[in-house]
Amino acid sequence: MSKRVAFLATDGVEEVEYTEPRKAVEDAGGTAELLSIKDGEIQAVNHMDKGGTYPVEKQVADADPADYDALVLPGGVANPDFLRTDTAAVRFVRDFFATGKPVAAICHGPWTLVEAGVVNGRTLTSWPSLHTDITNAGGKWVDEEVHVDGQLITSRKPDDIPAFNRALLEKL
């Protein structure tokens, strides 16, 4: 597989929701690139505890959706909350979604999809606390390990990562 996958994340990203899908893409022969709202590196978390740091490969404001074959939005509570308040991140997600290429979001990751206005008429899953946000944005929330709605792949939590990764790789 010679696909290029953008991972959009910032400080507060749930570590395994970034590292495990990235490893799956790279193990399958794809190229992964970490996009963020800042330069330098991001601080991952393991629930509420600090995890590792990861180098940012490109600022999202400088990224072009046409350069990627898929987009992954890892969770963590703080990460998508920071992303959904950043104009460049929201625009990138909205523009990427419009390409029709795969978009995969796990846990709290769909918050950025809500902000980008792309969940209306879609069925998706997430961490349960996003149920009301997704419904209010016109989406249908389901409690499933992984849900695929056209180009959109969503999962609920770290335990769902194996199913999330399989669905992502199938789309690629």
User: How many C-alpha atoms does 15 have within 13 Å on its Cβ side?
Assistant: 12
d(CA 128, CA 126) in angstroms, rounded, equals: 6
Amino acid sitting at position 30: G
Kindly state the DSSP code that residue 6 receives in the 8-state scheme: E
d(CA 64, CA 95) in angstroms, rounded, equals: 9
Instruction: Report the sign of the C-alpha dihedral through residues 85, 71, 142, 91, in that order.
Output: positive
The SS3 call for residue 128 is helix
Kindly state the DSSP code that residue 7 receives in the 8-state scheme: E
Q: Which of 9, 34, 60, 107 is catalytic?
A: 107
Mark whether 107 is an active-site residue: yes
Question: Which active-site residues does the annotation give?
Answer: 107
